[in-house]
Homo-oligomer: A and B are copies of this chain.
């Protein structure tokens, strides 16, 4: 069988063993279904230690669901949502946000996956004009789909402009752990402390099986979320098995160890290739992804050994994602192979 280790995505890896063990540990007896159980309450308490008692937190199944239901909660269908062209909500969710919220997405070009006040200002008009979808949310991804990381100040700048216009700031944190590891900051320092209103808090790409959290920093936004989650088909009956994952993930810094490792592997990968003249790293390596333009002809040979995705066919740009279980050996073998082929 083909070697299936590769750099395709951080969700191609399996699960950290501690996560499965934690699920095993809660598999005893009966609990009330749908989240009103001690394991879920305990996991939510854990998260509130981070985000404060005023936060309101819910578990759903997927990152797409966290984004879509979070956005649905803070919009009406006549609103628009400003995001980067490369954002997951625009590019990778098959129109789930439009279908479920009815909103218009305004997807803007960025160089590095990061919105700025200057970029978003292009769409800040038409308020109070009924022919125009009313801008209501700026949605950013942290770390971005391009492997870059917003500084807290960059996020604050966006929340200030959002709030100035009566809008809200949503953060897609599918890879928030990688950003926290890079910044060396706790989650809240670059989310609610700098004005984020709703956060999709991911775990699946960093060693969990399934389950994401949706964090509201003001309970007035989430007062009816329980109905939205149920109607959105995202209420787990055996909730304790999501909760157990989150509790384990946040305990003993499992999230941090995993993210630090995948970040480190990406750094290593980039550093091994930085002097290869045929290869051009196209984005700053600030989390667990490396983007590079490489000779088109070597792509299939490499993919055969270690699978990964082409990001842009036209420019021959590829994406290499590292995972919590990517080994130094994986990276070295892969970069050695590249060098060997290019010789």
Residues of A participating in the B interface, judged by any CB pair closer than 8 Å: 1, 4-6, 8-9, 11-15, 17, 20, 23-24, 26-34, 38, 61-65, 68-69, 76-80, 90-96, 98-100, 102-105, 125, 130-134, 204-205, 209-210, 224, 226-238, 240-241, 307, 313, 323, 325
The residue that A238 contacts in the complex, of B11, B34, B232, with Cβ under 8 A, is B11
User: Chain B: which residue is nearest A131 at the CB level?
Assistant: B92
CB atoms of B33 and A14 under 8 A apart: no
Q: A95-B104, A205-B237, A210-B238 are in contact. List 8 more A-B contacts (CB 8 A).
A: A8-B32, A32-B307, A61-B210, A77-B99, A92-B132, A94-B227, A130-B230, A209-B241
Inter-subunit contact A11/B33 (CB<8 Å): yes
Chain B residues in 8 Å Cβ range of A23:
20, 209
A-B contact pairs, 15 of them (CB 8 A): A12-B33, A62-B236, A64-B233, A64-B235, A77-B95, A77-B231, A80-B95, A93-B230, A94-B230, A95-B231, A96-B230, A96-B231, A130-B227, A130-B229, A210-B236
Q: Which residues of B contact A204 (CB under 8 A)?
A: 237-238
* Interchain nearest-CB distance for A140 vs B (Å): 19
A154 nearest CB across to chain B (Å):
25
A69, A78, A228 interface centre (most CB from chain B within 10 Å): A78
Residues of B within 8 A of A130 (CB): 34, 94, 226-227, 229-230, 235
Chain B nearest CB from A132 CB (Å) reads 6
Q: Is the CB of A62 within 8 A of B233?
A: yes
> B235 touching A133 by the CB < 8 A rule?
no
| Residue ID in chain B nearest A99 by CB atoms | B102
Q: Given the interface contacts A95-B80, A238-B11, A238-B14, does A4 sit within 8 Å of B31 by beta carbon?
A: yes
Which of A34, A96, A100 has the most chain B CB atoms inside 10 A of its CB? A96
In the bound complex, residues from chain B placing their C-beta under 8 Å from that of A233 are 61-62, 64-65, 68-69, 93, 96, 100, 232-234
B30 x A15 contact (CB < 8 A): no
CA–CA, A8 and B105, complex, Å? 29
Decide: A132 and B94 in contact? CB cutoff 8 A: yes
In the bound complex, CA of A125 to CA of B91 (Å): 11
Residue of B nearest to A109 (CB): B109
Shortest distance in angstroms between A101's beta carbon and chain B's nearest beta carbon? 8
* Contact A78-B236, Cβ < 8 Å, known A30-B5, A94-B133, A132-B91: no
Closest chain-B Cβ to A130's Cβ sits at a distance in Å of 4
CB <8 Å contact, B102 and A78: no
- Contact present for B32 and A27 (CB under 8 Å): no
Assess the A32–B20 pair: CB atoms within 8 A: no
Bound-state CA distance A9–B56 (Å) is 27
Shortest A223–chain B CB gap in Å is 11
A6 to B323, CA, bound (A): 42
Residues of B within 8 A of A65 (CB): 233
A312 CA to B336 CA in the complex, in Å? 55
Q: Let me know if B11 and A28 touch, CB within 8 A.
A: no
Among B12, B38, B102, which residue has its beta carbon within 8 angstroms of that of A31?
B12
In the bound complex, CA of A113 to CA of B17 (Å): 44
Q: Pick the contact of A15 from B15, B27, B33, B103 — CB < 8 Å?
A: B27
The complex places the Cα of A162 from the Cα of B14 at a distance, in Å, of 41
